[in-house]
Amino acid sequence: MSSTQFDGDIDSFVSYLKSNRGLSANTLKAYRADLTACLHLFELRGVTDLNEITLDDLRSWMAVESRDHARSSMARKTVAVRGFFAWAYEHGVTNTDPAATLMTPSIPSTLPAVLTESQAEQLLDVAEQAVATNQYKGDGGAAAASGSGKAAGKTADKSADTVNRSEAPARADKRDNARVVAESQRNAAILELLYATGIRVAELVSMDIADIDFSNRTIKVTGKGNKQRVVPFGLPAQRALETWLEQGRPVLARTATDAVKSRAANALFLGARGGRIDQRIARDIVHRAAREAGVPDISPHALRHSAATHILDGGADLREVQEMLGHSSLKTTQRYTHVSIEQLKNRYGQAFPRA
């Protein structure tokens, strides 16, 4: 990221947002990058004072940025710039607010991509089957390793060192098998929890073990702006989580260094090296699971869309779904009713002879 002579003002604005608006770390990071890019462009044009920037300058910046960015990205960038200049004017950094009448690009209304209920069931079934398959392979490997150890013990002319050397690869294979099983248990738990609760991937990876209440079958979720909510989950998700916590998690935790282990001691989900899992890995897990299940490629967010749509199809109240998903606006949740209506129209067209 390029630095500018206005970095101090950007820092002050971001600090203000953090203290007063409760925005997420990802949003603050995006706003900082947007503002730095915008003001860097003006700096290249010879601007040395924020008071020199006019509405026409900002419109020119939007024209340049629009060449390489989607409307949704431009809408966020515009919000960041408008917020920055409003803050600068209110705090006496600038004499005027040139962005006061800067228009935010309209975003075309698109329906979220979702799986059908049967596709979602297939996705979760295949993930569950992968756990069983890997466990079977692991048991076979353990039996083979045991058999080779007994055979070595029966050979009288083998030295102890030779026996140890022959058993070392078997032990390594057993550890690898245990890791593969543990990762498949983790993946199944992640998929079940994402679909059961409709939580965001950022919320998933930040969860701690203590956030799960098995007695009430609920999770405590910390969402955007550090707002907390409690979300229920079903029996399949409970079983997958219990299997992961009791069997899989201890295996991956053992691979961590002491430093990593201390940082991830409370983390619900772990990566292959025993640290807290990150969003990239969680997304890869969902994409890979979709390929293996033979369903349309989806992201964790599309799984969230699917959960919301299926819950509404099942008769849930819109306000309840809003609370579950952590939407600040009911308008956002209403998008899923449009998906349900579109699916109903498609089924009607296929099934009704006078459609």
* Active-site annotation, residues: 200, 224, 301, 304, 327, 336
Tell me how far apart the alpha carbons of residues 77 and 93 are, in angstroms, rounded to a whole number: 20
Look-up of token digits 């409307």: 71
Look-up of token digits 């219990």: 242
Tell me how far apart the alpha carbons of residues 45 and 256 are, in angstroms, rounded to a whole number: 50
Q: Which residues, in sequence order, are bridge partners of residue 276?
A: 270
Q: At what angle do helices 235-243 and 160-197 cross, to 10 degrees?
A: 160
* Planar angle of CA 308, 311, 314, nearest 5 degrees: 150
Tell me how far apart the alpha carbons of residues 198 and 221 are, in angstroms, rounded to a whole number: 11
- In angstroms, the Cα distances linking 163 to 66, 142, 150, 335 are 68, 17, 10, 65
Tell me how far apart the alpha carbons of residues 235 and 241 are, in angstroms, rounded to a whole number: 10
* Planar angle of CA 303, 308, 312, nearest 5 degrees: 145
Three-state SS for 300-344 is HHHHHHHHHHHHHHCCCCHHHHHHHHCCCCHHHHHHHHHHHHHHH
Integer-rounded Cα Rg, in Å, for the chain is 27
Closest CA to 116 of 333, 318, 313, 325: 313
Neighbours of 177 (CB within 10 A): 19
Type of residue at 271: G
